[in-house]
């Protein structure tokens, strides 16, 4: 998908658009401690430092953290990739947890596998500092009329 498909959404405004959309979710980025470092219709990159709020009783990152990161990164990208006048809503999230993590900085990278006019499928991979795959997920989203969702 080229940038010409989104001429009405300048690249300089992509981060602001994504932040505005995520901001409406009640500060979820802040709650997760997630920092979006690149936001385009083709890729979303985020990172965060693991701390006590991310851990389950056994001292490893809770699976819900990974699921939330997958949902967030894919949704932000899908919003930017959506046709004009459309918003996206997630309809399925499948996240797999591959390695336990107790501490450190994690990085997520989400890309579209298919970004159509009605539906999108995004994939997000989470890596540790050693570039080991920690978790992977796919989010399926539907593009719906923005007016219906207000």
CB-based contacts of 100: which residues, under 8 Å, 6+ apart? Answer: 60, 61
Plot region of 99 (φ>0 → left; ψ -120 to 50 → alpha; else → beta) = beta
DSSP 39-55: E-SS-EEEEEE--GGGB
Q: Whole-angstrom Cα distance, residue 7 to residue 50?
A: 37
DSSP 107-130: EEEEEEEEE-SSEEEEEEEEE-TT
Active site (catalytic) residues: 71
């Amino acid at each position: 998908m080229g940038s010409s498909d989104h001429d009405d959404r300048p690249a300089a405004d992509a981060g602001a658009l994504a932040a505005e959309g995520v901001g409406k979710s009640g500060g979820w980025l802040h709650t997760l401690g997630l920092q979006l470092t690149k936001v385009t219709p083709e890729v979303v990159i985020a990172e965060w430092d693991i701390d006590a709020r991310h851990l389950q009783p056994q001292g490893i990152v809770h699976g819900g953290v990974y699921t939330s990161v997958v949902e967030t990164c894919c949704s932000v990208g899908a919003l930017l990739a959506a046709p004009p006048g459309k918003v996206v809503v997630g309809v399925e999230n499948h996240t797999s947890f591959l390695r336990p993590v107790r501490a450190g900085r994690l990085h997520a990278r989400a890309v579209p596998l298919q970004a159509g006019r009605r539906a999108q499928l995004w994939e997000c991979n989470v890596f540790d500092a050693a570039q080991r795959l920690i978790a992977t997920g796919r989010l399926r989203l539907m593009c719906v009329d923005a007016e219906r969702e207000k």
